[in-house]
Structure 1
Amino acid sequence: MEEPDDIIFTNSCGDEIGRIILPGDDITHQIKTDYVTNDPLKVDPIKIARQLGIDSEDIDAVGIDLGYTGVLGGGMHFGEGIIHFLDGDSEGETYLFGYRGGGVGLDAGVGMSGFISNFDDNSKERFFNAENWEGNYAGYSIGGGKENINYSWGNEDNIKGQLWTGQQYTLRKSSPPTWHTWTVGGAFSGEARGGASVYWGESFLQNKF
């Protein structure tokens, strides 16, 4: 994993709302948002990896998610986020992205959270970039706020509605997973009510910083 500078994100007024903790000098990016917090989110990818039992050298991207979730039986989720790539063809690049989708279960809340992503070794190298990080995804969420655990994944053929990781790869040896993304407790800022849900959606890159 490369060691770029700390990345700080501010709102439209220039107030810090979150940062990704990485060695080196600070770099600041401004986001067009009115979001305000007295407790800026601090995302430490090494800490998240440790909580998950993942080798920090396997972290290929790290980011901040600002999202809304409303799932009661069936509902929607949407939001924006920032992702910084540490490896692959997009190494050193930072993007603003959006996402939207739906889910089944009981889950509701709003707030910022930190995440890490890992590129799957079974996937082709041509998917190891920002362009192929975006697309259709599926995932699970349980808990809420600092107790939240969230896991999602994409796949080579951009298939919608998968029920488990590598579904087509397991059944037909096709379309292996590409990117795996995790959010865990301890990297959260905001107000949230928890629950459990299965969800699907689409992410899309909006612009490069």
Structure 2
Amino acid sequence: MSRDWYTWHDDYDDPASPLAHRLAEVRRHIAGALDDAPAGPLRAVSLCAGQGRDLIPVLATHPRGGEVTARLVEADHRNAEVARAAARAAGLSRVEVVVADAAHTDGYIGLVPAHLVLVCGVFGNVSDADVRRTVRHCAALCATGGTVIWTRHRHEPDLVPAICGWFAEEGFALVTVVSPADGVGVGVHRLLGAPRPLPAGVTMFRFGS
């Protein structure tokens, strides 16, 4: 039986849960990326964005939140509606929530390369080969000097060291990798070189594979 990705978010409401610890860490690095971003308008994209609990609260309170044009791509319409409601309540008119398969590159055309790319909750739900493929596409999603924030569980076999190596191969510098809770990993990388063109019509990963 497939997982219900709407009720999956309930663990965020338990402050003692690993998911809540992961969320706090991701938010901290989103705020840091906004602190370090260049002056002027900013762009952000979030893959498999869920209810937008990582990005939207930070944009709502950060001094630069109003400068960010963001696109959150989420397949579950219930989660997407929660994210839309949160963005409206926060007055974030530049936040767009799209109901679509986040694996398809077409969903990001027009808003990439972005200064902030969120790939949270993806790498633990796709094959290792798809993780590698998605890292490669991050070099097209991310702008020069932009930040990619990703998550992956640290259960054996721990793929986090390999993921860090793959980002390095694609021209990213490691900012940090942390484990804010048992079995949880959060990675942050910054693109040093010029982004690649984003190919249209490509599937980066297959969720649940």
TM-score, scaled relative to structure 1: 0.27
Which structure dedicates a bigger proportion of its chain to helix? 2
